[in-house]
């Protein structure tokens, strides 16, 4: 009987993982369009056309890893802006929590409240207990997904993103060349 229960548990856990593993968009494909409430009001991916978008998903505001990640992006915002990037964070927290998190950490970018998990599902990052998995999507100015960071270093995330943006963006042409 014990073996049957162990096997049953393994099957249930495997099924749960498959159910949560909604397919993430593929690099090179059009990034899924969304419209959601943010700390600045309604925000859609279309609103961000013309700049590189750093769309980062995190599990829960005010937890140690999420606070470190948001702080890294806050502290590295000038370098990201110099690379023509707009940062937007997404979690399944409600809007009041997102506003409080943004204010307490003095975040210079918007946060999306996704309690109904619509954006989380579009990007295939639904995790345990309905929270988002920690993952970052880099979207080019035309709305094409150019990179995904699965292995986020919460304390050095801004550096990770900057390094990737430098690789993805064409080198500037020197003045006077044709």
Q: Return the closest-CA partner of residue 37 out of 81, 97, 84, 126.
A: 97
Which residue is catalytic, options 31, 66, 87, 145? Answer: 66
Length of the chain: 178
Asked if 98 contacts 70 with a C-beta cutoff of 8 angstroms, the reply is no
> What is the CB-side half-sphere exposure of residue 131 using CA atoms within 13 A?
11
The token duo for 101 is 């998190």
146: left (phi over 0), alpha (psi -120 to 50) or beta: alpha
Selection from 84, 69, 90 nearest residue 146 by Cα: 84
Residues 165, 83 contacting (CB under 8 angstroms)? yes
Other C-beta atoms closer than 10 Å to the C-beta of 41 total 7
- Is 66 marked active-site? yes
Active site residues: 66
């Amino acid at each position: 009987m014990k073996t049957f229960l162990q096997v049953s548990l393994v099957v249930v856990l495997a099924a749960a993982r498959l159910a949560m593993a909604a397919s993430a968009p593929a690099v090179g494909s059009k990034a899924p369009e969304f419209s959601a409430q943010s700390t600045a009001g309604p925000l859609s991916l279309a609103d961000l056309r013309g700049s590189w978008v750093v769309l980062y998903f995190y599990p829960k505001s005010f937890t140690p890893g999420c606070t470190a990640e948001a702080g890294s992006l806050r502290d590295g915002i000038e370098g990201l802006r110099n690379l023509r990037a707009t940062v937007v964070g997404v979690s399944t927290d409600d809007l009041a929590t997102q506003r409080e998190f943004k204010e307490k950490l003095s975040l210079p970018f918007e946060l999306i409240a996704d309690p109904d998990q619509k954006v989380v599902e579009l990007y295939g990052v639904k995790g345990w207990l309905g929270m988002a998995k920690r993952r970052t999507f880099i979207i080019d100015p035309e709305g094409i997904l150019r990179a995904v960071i699965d292995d986020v270093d919460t304390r050095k995330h801004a550096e990770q993103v900057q390094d990737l943006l430098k690789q993805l963006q064409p080198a500037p042409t020197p003045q006077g060349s044709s």
